[in-house]
Each structure stands twice: as structure tokens, then as C-alpha cells.
């Protein structure tokens, strides 16, 4: 049974802005990356899955429950980390997260125990008793993640979890997200406009643009090998290029790097022979992978 089923899901805001345009998709559990530029419809999709927003037309179901008619049942087992600030500054992380656990229907004692547990997991220790107004952005993001985890959801929806974090904060948050998906056994949907980040944590990718589905596939398919061999030599890349062209290989230059089309295994031998003949120092020889950026470059008209 798919975790999430979208059937011609459309959301039109008052004023005519179309945030989602006939999205049809089945998603299996895992760490799912939801990528798209700002305004592509990522946040709208998450809010519809939570029942925070009604779809204009089409249907969506989560864990086999309809988002419009069975929203409460869904929300019992879904955790949501919104994109923007959502923490009252005068409360401590402990008080806030435990209050939110109660709001998910957990009994008082269990709420306190779970709060201690999840705050430890997101890496908040002594500071959890201090008012959140004095927290750094990194600590606030951790509390936001903790309140989404506190009722032990089966599905976690994270909207731009690395928003506003410095590079080391990003690394830590991404590691935490990855651990949540693998070690905690939860299904996770991470929405982000940063392809590089999504690439690091997800195993399935959904790319949307202007509310339409660009592509949904396992990450490996997105980054599959291309038929291009990249050759980097210390000096004399241009001489190598010329020599390859003379031997009938359609090589091109990309800065200092010589690109060789790979239709079969033959170019490997030619490249090796020419490097030896020209007495060049080989730095790198690799088959290029398609980056996620290429996907958007290829399929989204600028």
C-alpha cells in the first residue's frame, strides 16, 4: 500500500494563483525529497497532506486515509516541522515540546518522558530548560524538529529544515534527518529548494515546478551515469584534446577538463595511449554523474 496517493491534486488560491496543478503520484515509505524552486508548491502540498489546507480539486490520501474527511486520524500519526518560526520566546523547550505532545493526545506522564527523549535525540541538553527566545537558529530548528517527533509519528513532514542554518548547522540537521528516516524507522518527506541537500539525505526524489510534477524516481536514477568521460591532466589538456581529435574521438574541452563521449570501451584505451605518448600527468579519470542541477537545467526552461 503506498504511503501517499495523490490524484489530480490541484490547489488554486483566491486571486487565481495555482500552487498545485493536477499532481498525480504514488509514494512509498522512505526518505522522500521534495524539490522545487521557491513557490513551486512544496509547502502547499505538505499543508494539504496535513489537512491544513483543503485542495481545490482532486484527491490526496495519507496512510490510506483521505486528507479532507480523515484529517484528524492522519494528524495523529504525522509530525510537521514548518518552514517559519513557530516558537514562543518565553517558554522553555521542555515546556513547549511537552505541551505539543499533549496537543497530540499523549497523556501527561508520557508527554514528559517523550519530551526528554526527543530533546536528547535532537541534541538539546541543559539549554532545554531556558527560555527559547535566547536560542540560536540551530537550537530553534532542533526544537522545531523535536516537537514534530514527540508523538512518535509514522510520517514526518519537514519544510526546509535547514532554513537559516550555517554550513555546520546544515550538516548536523541533515544528519539528524537521515538518522530519523533510517534509525527511527519513520517515513520522511523533506521539502527543500536546495538540491545538494536533498541529494544527501533522500532515497527517492520528487521534483515539482510551478505546481506540476517534473519527475518522481529513486535518487539513483536522477544521478545516473552519463555517457561522458572526464579526463583531467596536470598540464597540457589542450594537447591531449588535439591528439584525441586527430585519432577520431569527438573530445571537447570544459575548462581544463577534457570531455570524451563514451559510446563503448574504446575511448579508455585511446586516452591512456595518448597520455603515455604525450607524457602527461593524469590527475583524474571519471565517468560523469548527472547532478540534480542538470535535471532542472534540462527540463525547466529558464
Partner 1 sequence: MSQAGVSGPGGNIYDLGYQSYDGPRLGRRSATGALFRSALLACFGIGRGGRAKIVPIVLGVLVVLPAVLAIGISALAAQAPGSGGDALENASPVRFATYHGLIVILVMLFAAAQGPELFGRDQRYGVLPLYFSRVLTRIDYALAKTAGLWVALLLLILVPQALLLGGRIFVAPDPVTGVGKEIASVPLFVAQGLLTAGLLGSLTALVASYTPRRAYATAIVIAIFIIPPIIVALVGNLVGDDAARILVLLSPGDVLDGTNAWIYGTIPDGPVVASLALPGLVYLAAALVGIVGATGLTIRRYLTIRA
Interaction site with partner 1 (CB under 8 A): 50-52, 72, 75-76, 78, 80, 82, 84-90, 95, 99-100, 102-108, 110, 114, 117, 121, 131, 147, 151-152, 183-185
Cα 36–41–46 angle (5° rounding)?
A: 105
Pick between residue 7 and residue 152 the one whose CB is nearest to partner 1: 152
Pick between residue 6 and residue 155 the one whose CB is nearest to partner 1: 155
Give the CA distances from residue 217 to residues 202, 271, 276, in Å, rounded to whole numbers and listed in that order: 11, 34, 42
User: Chain-centre distance of CA 78, in angstroms?
Assistant: 18
Q: How far apart are CA 249 and CA 245, in angstroms?
A: 5
Instruction: Give backbone dihedrals phi and psi of 253, rounded to 5 degrees, phi first.
Output: -110, 140
Q: How far apart are CA 18 and CA 2, in angstroms?
A: 26
Pick between residue 18 and residue 228 the one whose CB is nearest to partner 1: 18
Distance of closest approach, residue 152 Cβ to partner 1, in angstroms: 4
Pick between residue 104 and residue 192 the one whose CB is nearest to partner 1: 104
User: Chain-centre distance of CA 249, in angstroms?
Assistant: 38
Distance of closest approach, residue 2 Cβ to partner 1, in angstroms: 21
Distance of closest approach, residue 52 Cβ to partner 1, in angstroms: 6
Q: Which DSSP category does 3 fall into?
A: S
Pick between residue 78 and residue 177 the one whose CB is nearest to partner 1: 78
Distance of closest approach, residue 184 Cβ to partner 1, in angstroms: 5
Distance of closest approach, residue 50 Cβ to partner 1, in angstroms: 5
Amino acid at each position: 500500500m503506498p504511503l501517499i496517493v495523490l490524484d489530480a491534486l490541484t490547489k488554486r488560491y483566491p486571486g487565481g494563483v495555482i500552487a498545485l496543478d493536477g499532481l498525480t503520484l504514488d509514494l512509498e515509505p522512505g526518505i522522500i525529497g521534495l524539490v522545487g524552486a521557491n513557490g513551486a508548491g512544496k509547502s502547499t502540498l505538505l499543508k494539504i497532506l496535513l489537512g491544513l489546507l483543503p485542495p481545490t480539486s482532486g484527491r490526496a490520501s495519507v496512510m490510506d486515509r483521505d486528507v479532507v474527511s480523515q484529517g484528524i486520524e492522519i494528524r495523529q500519526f504525522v509530525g510537521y516541522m514548518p518552514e517559519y518560526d513557530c516558537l514562543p520566546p518565553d517558554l522553555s523547550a521542555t515546556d513547549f515540546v511537552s505541551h505539543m505532545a499533549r496537543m497530540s493526545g499523549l497523556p501527561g506522564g508520557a508527554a514528559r518522558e517523550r519530551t526528554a527523549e526527543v530533546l536528547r535525540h535532537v541534541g538539546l541538553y541543559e539549554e532545554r530548560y531556558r527560555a527559547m527566545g535566547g536560542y540560536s537558529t540551530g537550537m530553534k530548528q532542533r526544537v522545531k524538529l523535536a516537537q514534530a517527533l514527540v508523538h512518535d509519528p509514522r510520517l514526518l513532514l519537514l519544510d526546509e529544515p535547514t532554513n537559516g542554518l550555517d554550513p555546520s548547522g546544515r550538516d548536523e540537521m541533515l544528519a539528524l534527518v537521515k538518522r530519523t528516516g533510517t534509525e527511527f524507522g519513520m517515513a520522511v518527506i523533506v521539502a527543500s529548494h536546495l538540491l545538494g541537500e536533498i541529494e544527501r539525505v533522500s532515497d527517492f526524489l520528487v521534483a515539482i515546478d510551478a505546481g506540476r510534477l517534473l519527475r518522481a524516481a529513486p535518487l539513483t536514477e536522477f544521478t545516473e551515469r552519463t555517457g561522458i568521460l572526464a579526463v583531467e591532466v596536470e598540464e597540457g589538456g589542450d594537447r591531449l584534446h588535439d591528439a584525441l581529435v586527430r585519432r577520431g574521438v569527438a573530445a571537447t574541452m570544459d575548462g581544463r577538463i577534457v570531455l570524451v563521449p563514451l559510446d563503448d570501451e574504446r575511448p579508455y584505451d585511446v586516452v591512456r595511449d595518448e597520455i603515455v605518448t604525450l607524457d602527461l600527468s593524469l590527475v583524474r579519470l571519471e565517468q560523469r554523474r548527472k547532478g540534480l542541477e542538470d535535471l532542472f537545467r534540462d527540463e525547466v526552461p529558464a
